Amino acid sequence: MATILKHWREAATLIIAAKSKNIANRYSYEILMLKRSGKSKFMPSLSVFPGGVAEEADFSPEWMDVFSSIDNDIWTRTFAHFSKVGQGPPMFSRQRDEQFSKIPSEVAFRICAIRETFEECGILLTRSSNDNKINLLTEASNVSKNYGKIGNIGISDFEIWREKVDKDATQFIKMCQKFNMVPDIWSLTEWSNWLTPVTVARRSSGTDEGSKRRYDTAFFLCLLDTIPDAVHDDKETVHLQWFPPDELIKSHLESKVKLAPPQIYEICRFLNFKDMEELNEFCLTRINKRVTRNFPVPAICDDGMFILYPGDDLYPEDPDIYGAKGPLIIPGTLREIHQKYPHHNRYVLKDKESHRDFIYDVKFLCNVTQGDEHVIPVTDLSFLGMPRARF
């Protein structure tokens, strides 16, 4: 199988940042968030980026014919690019059955992210097969902007095909063939990779069955020069909204929006970039860089619990990715641990009542260099009128 593993499934998420027309905003762009249905078995009622589980169709050799329709040698250069920059995280580099190895995993997961975005909110990121200017992924020196392209297939056809693709992922291939288009994989920047811990998966569903709801997820970023029309699918998602990153974090801290730790971590990274052009320049610097897997490790101390990320003083050398050992037990209070281990990359959940009630004061701390040369999240939110994290 292409995407199903023993301990987790593989998935792809797309962060879409689009230029804002509201000049009063502190940040010049807004990020798309979708609120999941309260009936969802995984992360119900949380706001997330578009995305979902990868399908075998995303790895189909038929994509070779779709991409080969491009009029230049971009397909060959794309293959060469991934070979040149080296191995990425395990979900990109692992060996797959021959039938699912015709295209690079990096391409397949980009296709997945674009397909899921089309299904969930109706944003179709495609280019015409006749576009001779597709060179963004491999030749940063020739590019000044890395903005995505919105496909156009007509309103009546659009809804018909959105429904078809939602029911059957192979229809995405057929749609691209029919309308002479290719998924715009070149505008997607490899942003991060998150593997769900067992304890978090179990808690999100409320049952032991949740331990099977783990995902190794590729996070991609796409920049758009204008906010496109978008509509939630009213199935998996029940509400759609665009937020500047600062307003999104503030809304979460004020309990107006519910975000999971990976989304909080990534949004806080965006707080480093006030201007869309700064974010664009940063994306161009990462064309030849690979992300590393970010595996959160839950830990419990005397007066609360926290989640450790790579680079933290307490992050284990050999993290338990299969969930055989349970959460780490760290003696001491949060204050004592904070002072004793000063290199932080952790999400602190200070329990108000008990470890089972999940009502927390949230303190997000990061002061370590990222292993993949990524920016660190902004954790001092005093500029939003929020108190600084103290213990």
- What are the pLDDT digits (tens) for 254-289? 889 999 889 999 999 999 999 999 999 999 888 888
Three-class SS of residue 217?
A: strand
Q: Give just the sign of the alpha carbon dihedral 161, 218, 188, 177.
A: negative
Q: Which helix (H) or strand (E) holds 319?
A: none
Q: Which pLDDT belongs to residue 378?
A: 92
113 to each of 71, 228, 274, 334, 350, how far by Cα in Å? 24, 17, 25, 38, 34
Name the strand (E) or helix (H) holding 158: helix 155-167
- Domain ranges for the chain, please list them: 9-285, 295-384
Residue 276: its H or E element: helix 276-285
Q: What is the pLDDT of residue 183?
A: 95
Neighbouring residues of 151: CB distance < 8 A, sequence distance ≥ 6: 124, 125, 126, 127, 179, 181, 184
Strand locations in the chain (E) = 9-19, 29-36, 47-48, 51-53, 126-128, 181-183, 188-195, 215-224, 237-243, 293-294, 297-301, 304-308, 328-329, 345-351, 360-366
Domain 9-285, CATH: 3.90.79.10
Read off the tokens for 273: 């970039």
CA atoms within 13 A on the CB side of 388: 5
Residues with pLDDT less than 50, the chain: 204-211, 352-360
Rounded-to-integer distance, Cα 268 and Cα 276, Å: 15
Task: Identify whether the C-beta of residue 314 lies closer than 8 Å to the C-beta of residue 308.
Answer: yes
pLDDT score recorded for residue 83:
80
Q: What is the pLDDT of residue 273?
A: 97
State residue 323's pLDDT score: 84
* Per-residue confidence (pLDDT) for residue 303, from 0 to 100: 87
Residue 206, pLDDT score: 47
pLDDT attached to residue 120: 93
Residue 326 CB-density burial (10 A; 0-12 exposed, 13-18 middle, 19+ buried): exposed
CB burial of residue 32 (10 Å; 0-12, 13-18, 19+): buried
Instruction: Kindly report, residue by residue over 217-236, the tens digit of the pLDDT.
Output: 999 999 999 999 888 877 77
| pLDDT, position 381 | 84
Query: Half-sphere exposure of residue 176, counting CA atoms within 13 Å on the CB side?
Result: 30
Whether residue 279 contacts residue 267, with contact meaning beta carbons closer than 8 Å, is answered with no
* pLDDT at residue number 355: 43
What confidence score (pLDDT) does residue 204 get?
47
Residues 6+ apart with CB under 8 A from 304: 334, 348, 349, 350, 351, 355, 360
